[in-house]
Amino acid sequence: MLHSTWRGFLRRCASAAALGAVVAGLGVVGPAASSAAAAGTLQQVTAFGSNPGNLAMYEYAPSTLPADAPLVVALHGCTQSASDYHAHSGWQKYADLWGFAVVYPQTGSANNSLSCFSWFDAAKDTRAKGEAASIKQMVDTAAAQYGSDRSRVFVTGLSAGGGMTADLLADYPDVFAGGSVDSGLPAQCATTQAAASGCQYSNQNLTPKQWGDKVRTSYPGYTGPWPRVAIWQGSSDTTVAPVNGTELRDQWTDVWGIGQTASSTRNLTGGTTESIYDDSTGKPAVALFSVSGMAHGLAVNPGSGSDQCGSTGTYYLNSICSSYHTAKFWGLDGSGDQGGTGSLPAPSGLKVTGTTDTAASLSWTSVSGATTYNVYRGGTKVASTTGTTYTDDGLSAGTSYGYTVAAVDSSGAVGATSGSVTATTTGSVPRCYTGNNYQQVQAGRAHQSGGYTYANGSAQNMGLYNVAINHTLKETSPGYFVIADAGC
């Protein structure tokens, strides 16, 4: 069991915990004992190794996932589940838009009475042990299944899942290229249950070097490269005190060997301040996102904009889409993972000049010295062209795609990559879907909150979140659903 003060907070999650029990009672999501997920759906994988941490593995991949795509591991918070995190966090939107797979580890009451990942237990959160080892096995299984780019594997998590994320980054810096700790704790802040509440609520009064040593001793002898770490913290969080964001900043800037003075600071939406700490080459290594007035939870921002995502619920708080900014910080939008070997600047003025049901047209400003331009869709190169326009065809109707462009010189060196633009093809999206409330949530057409189901977009109440209630949902525009039980 957790320390009494942590349990006192979590008893306030009774409705969410009851909902987790409902999900658990429904059994396997997808085919039982399947070793591969069906594209475009959240599925359970039951064979992924010896599983010393007694975790469940779920995964999601878009139907058009390319080879050598990135892989993201996403860890839920206490009383939550993999399907709950998938439905609310917004990671599915960017997996579809930018082309990567997501693995959702899930713990349960057999491991912890409140279904928390054991970020405070040295027998479970250290390299090659317990839950940490199980998650490493999930990464190996998914990477082999999808042909993932092993240099672009990332991990993120909320609350206790955030604490485990920090531990995993310290345990496996050879596995994870980056991480995001959302309302979480520094790596190895506590190594016993008794010490957990002190980390949550109190300043540990450690120097950056002392924090950094906790990472360095997690994998003795490792010298880098180190993961790039995003940190999200609400200023009004009374469950995981805001000082934890500062301590995480101190820890990972020290690991990188850089100072604690931000290289740049800017204001984002939702009262969010982004502070960037660059490495010795001028590339962002650590990012601290402080959300003014936000309590304990994951920052989401429902809506149809490219920088909006997720749905609100217990510990899913409407302020800013953290998943969008985290994915961009990692370069999953294509802005940071191609090119860069040449000296040519990024093309400017990239814009969408037109769309049809099956095509998107782009244009950009020419770069002096460029002989060709690489065009990337969702981070994957789709064309090389000598001009400053391109039409990408063979696309699906009513679907959003992210594009970037990079200039190539006469030697073949690829320059810096442009910022991303989003093109949405015209035409009708699939119109009507019939299924029980649980299936509608798993498919991303609805979300649950407080034990009830609500249609995405319209927020119409569909009744209790279970398999006994059926509805037909009509998609009137991409991502906007209304109840249409009378017919479509």
List the chain domain ranges.
4-330, 351-424, 432-483
Largest Cα–Cα distance of the chain, in whole Å?
Answer: 65
- Give the burial class of 403: count Cβ atoms within 10 A of its Cβ; 0-12 exposed, 13-18 middle, 19 or more buried: buried
Catalytic residue flag (residue 280): no
Q: Is the pLDDT of residue 258 over 80?
A: yes
Across 203-213, average pLDDT: 96
Contact 385, 326 (CB under 8 A): no
Which SS3 state, helix, strand or coil, does residue 179 take? Answer: strand
pLDDT computed for residue 418 by the predictor? 81
C-alpha–C-alpha distance, residues 333 and 257, integer Å? 27
198: Cβ–Cβ under 8 A, 6 or more apart, which residues?
A: 190, 204
Pairwise pLDDT comparison (6 vs 20), residue with the higher score? 6
Q: Are strands 414-417 and 351-355 parallel, antiparallel or unpaired?
A: unpaired
pLDDT in tens, 66-93: 888 999 999 999 999 999 999 999 999 9
Amino acid found at 451: G
Integer-rounded Cα Rg, in Å, for the chain is 22
**Which percentage of the chain shows pLDDT scores above 90?**
65
Q: How many residues does the chain have?
A: 488
Instruction: Please check whether the domain covering 4-330 is classified as CATH 3.40.50.1820.
Output: yes
- What mean pLDDT value characterizes the chain? 87
Highest-confidence segment of 11-20, 88-97, 444-453: 88-97
Q: Is the pLDDT of residue 190 over 90?
A: yes
| CA 99 – CA 92 distance, rounded (Å) | 10
Distance, CA of 276 to CA of 284 (rounded, Å): 6
CATH entry 2.60.40.10 includes domain 351-424: yes
> Model confidence over 454-465: pLDDT tens digits?
999 888 999 988
pTM of the model: 0.67
Handedness of CA 439, 442, 445, 451 (dihedral sign): positive
Q: What is the model's pLDDT at position 379?
A: 66
- Directed axis angle between helix 243-256 and helix 208-216, to 10°? 70
**Catalytic residue, candidates 118, 159, 323, 420:** 159
- CA–CA distance, 158 with 160 (Å, rounded to integer): 6
Is the predicted pLDDT of residue 34 greater than 60, yes or no? no
**How do residues 316-355 score in pLDDT, each as one tens digit?**
999 999 999 999 999 998 755 443 445 788 899 999 999 9
Q: Which residue has the higher pLDDT, 391 or 409?
A: 391
CB under 8 Å to 281, separation ≥6 — which residues? Answer: none
d(CA 179, CA 168): 9
Q: In this predicted structure, what is the pLDDT of residue 344?
A: 83
Q: What are phi and psi of 58, to 5 degrees?
A: -125, 155
Task: Please calculate the CA angle 294-296-301 and round it to the nearest 5 degrees.
Answer: 55
| pLDDT, position 429 | 55
Higher pLDDT pick, 75 / 6: 75
482/73 Cα distance (integer angstroms): 31
HSE, CB side, 13 Å, CA atoms: give it for residue 317: 21
Return all residues near 448 (Cβ < 8 A) that are at least 6 apart.
19, 84, 87, 313, 437, 441, 454, 465
139 versus 466: the higher-pLDDT residue is 139
The confidence score (pLDDT) of residue 341 equals 47
Taking CA atoms, 368 is separated from 132, 348, 437, in Å, by 49, 12, 55
- The answer on pLDDT for 236 being more than 60 is yes
Strands 56-60 and 372-377: unpaired
| pLDDT digit string, tens, across residues 156-172 | 999 999 999 999 999 99
4-330 and 351-424 have identical folds: no
Q: Percentage of residues in the chain with pLDDT exceeding 70? A: 89
**pLDDT for the residue 8:** 46
Which tops the pLDDT comparison, 9 or 275? Answer: 275
Q: What tens digit of pLDDT does each residue of 101-140 get?
A: 999 999 999 999 999 999 999 999 999 999 999 999 999 9
pLDDT at 29 over 80: no
Burial of 34: CB neighbours in 10 Å, binned 0-12, 13-18, 19+: middle
- In this predicted structure, what is the pLDDT of residue 27? 31
